[in-house]
Structure 1
Amino acid sequence: MIAIIAQVLGFVMLIPQGILPIIFLAAGIQSKSWFLALYVPEPMNLPVAIAFVLVGGLLAFFGTRTVIRWT
């Protein structure tokens, strides 16, 4: 059960909270929507988005690996 939660949270942190804000920052899009990294103060936007990518990638990786081991 914990592996599935880690997997879901990992993909949410990786794609909509990490990768998409990086794309928004690179494209200069001003819409903040629900991306947490775009609500932090200006110089911290990119580091927060990169942290989401790293943590989300690790959670997704280990959650998926654990689920695969169960089957």
Structure 2
Amino acid sequence: MLAIVAQVLGFVMLIPQGILPIIFLAANVQSKSWFLALYVPEPMSLVVAIAFVIVGGLLAFFGTRSVIRWT
């Protein structure tokens, strides 16, 4: 059960909270929507988005690896 939660949370942190804000920052999109990284002060936005990518990628990797081991 914990592996599935880690997997889902990891993919949420990776794609919508990490990769999409990086794309928004690169394209200079002004809409913040629900991306947490776009609500922090400007110099830290990219750092927060990269942190989400790293942590989300690790959670998704280890969650997926644990689920695969179960089968």
TM-score range, shorter chain: over 0.9
TM-score (norm 1): 1.00
Instruction: Name stretches of at least 5 consecutive residues in structure 2 with no aligned partner.
Output: none
Structure 2 residue matching 1:4: 3-state secondary structure: helix
Q: How does 1:25-64 map to 2 (within 5 A)?
A: 25-64=25-64
Q: Percent identity?
A: 89
TM-score (norm 2): 1.00
Over 2 Å off, 4+ runs = none
User: Cα RMSD over matched residues?
Assistant: 0.2
Instruction: Name stretches of at least 5 consecutive residues in structure 1 with no aligned partner.
Output: none
Matching residue's letter, 1:18: G
